[in-house]
Amino acid sequence: MEEKRDKYPRKEKKDVIYGLHPVLEAIKSEQELNKILIQKGIEKEHFRELKEILAGKDYNIQYVPIQKLNKLTSGNHQGVIAFVTPIEYQNIETLVDQWVEKEQKVNILILDRITDVRNFGAIARSAECQGVDAILIPSKGSALVSSDAVRTSSGALSRIPVCKTDDLKNTLFYIQQSGIRLIACTEKSSLPLQDINLRGSVGIIMGSEENGITSDLINLSDVKTKIPMHGEIQSLNVSVATGIILYEKMRQEKG
């Protein structure tokens, strides 16, 4: 039975590559890819070359129903779609080593599972305005750095180094051992933001709106703080909360 398509043709996304051969070429040319979607139950023989070229490579690969692929493109995707990142990710360990060698004071923004693209873009915009040196995200479970995210950030994601890591906890331990204090912004803290010292080199950790910062990262952090609130909701949008703590960091440095 032929898969029913939408009545109205959709506008193709600029950061999507579809079709077996275009995706193969993107991988062979080592183009930066956010993730690859492959149709569940696809004929294995048809994907032999793709499977061989992906072997040993660290791509974010998901197997999805054909319906999801059809929603992403009206073209002949042949059971495979790849998302291209409009930026070049950088290595956080390399950057940290450079900063330590230069004895540079740094401000790293660590985003633990921020999945909303608009929040991600808004956070990056605040980060660029308030002197963040790098943004660190997990490779999985985080919003993609897509053209939509870059647009929402008003281009900030093209100006700030963005780094991905497969193991956020281990990477944060490396950052911490390099002399950079980890500050976790969490409602589980009893220490208000205005009472902590944000001066010097810090890594500020912000968590998802649904679950906050994972307990492992909270336990690893040097300082835990919360933003004081007086309303009944007692919950801020993560992009707003990030803007507040980054402003407080900037205020203390200039004070």
Cβ–Cβ under 8 Å, residues 38 and 97: no
Residues 113 and 141 in one domain: yes
In a domain, residue 8? The reply is no
Residues 62 and 112 in one domain: no
In a domain, residue 4? The reply is no
| Average pLDDT across the chain, whole number | 88
161-184 mean pLDDT = 96
The pLDDT score that the predictor gives to residue 111 is 97
Last residue of a domain, one of 59, 84, 109: 84
pLDDT digits (tens, 9 = 90+) for 172-183: 999 999 999 999
pLDDT digits (tens, 9 = 90+) for 62-80: 889 999 999 988 888 999 9
Residues 212 and 100 in one domain: yes
Residues 97 and 194 in one domain: yes
26-49 mean pLDDT = 82
The pLDDT score that the predictor gives to residue 26 is 86
Please, which residues have CB within 8 angstroms of residue 89's CB and are 6 or more apart in sequence? 32, 145, 162, 163, 164
Residues 69 and 111 in one domain: no
Percent of the chain with pLDDT over 90: 56
Q: How far apart are CA 137 and CA 162, in angstroms?
A: 8
Residues 98 and 151 in one domain: yes
User: pLDDT confidence of 14, banded at 50, 70, 90?
Assistant: low
| Pairing of the two strands 134-138 and 162-165 | parallel
What does pTM read for this prediction? Answer: 0.82
pLDDT digits (tens, 9 = 90+) for 133-151: 999 999 888 887 888 888 8
Residues 211 and 96 in one domain: yes
CA distances (Å), 112 to each of 41, 46, 81, 117, 213, in order? 32, 37, 26, 14, 6
pLDDT digits (tens, 9 = 90+) for 91-123: 999 999 999 999 999 999 999 999 998 999 999
Residues 113 and 165 in one domain: yes
In a domain, residue 102? The reply is yes
Last residue of a domain, one of 26, 60, 84: 84
The pLDDT score that the predictor gives to residue 251 is 95
Residues 69 and 117 in one domain: no
Domains: count for the chain: 2
Last residue of a domain, one of 42, 68, 84: 84
Domain housing 140? 92-254
In a domain, residue 68? The reply is yes
The CB-side HSE value for 233 (13 A sphere, CA atoms) comes to 3
User: pLDDT confidence of 3, banded at 50, 70, 90?
Assistant: very low
* Token couple for 171: 């990477």
Domain with residue 102: its CATH number is 3.40.1280.10
Residues 247 and 163 in one domain: yes
| Pairing of the two strands 33-39 and 61-64 | parallel
The CB-side HSE value for 85 (13 A sphere, CA atoms) comes to 23
Residues 79 and 120 in one domain: no
In a domain, residue 224? The reply is yes
In a domain, residue 194? The reply is yes
Cα torsion at 185, 186, 192, 195 (round to 10°)?
A: -40
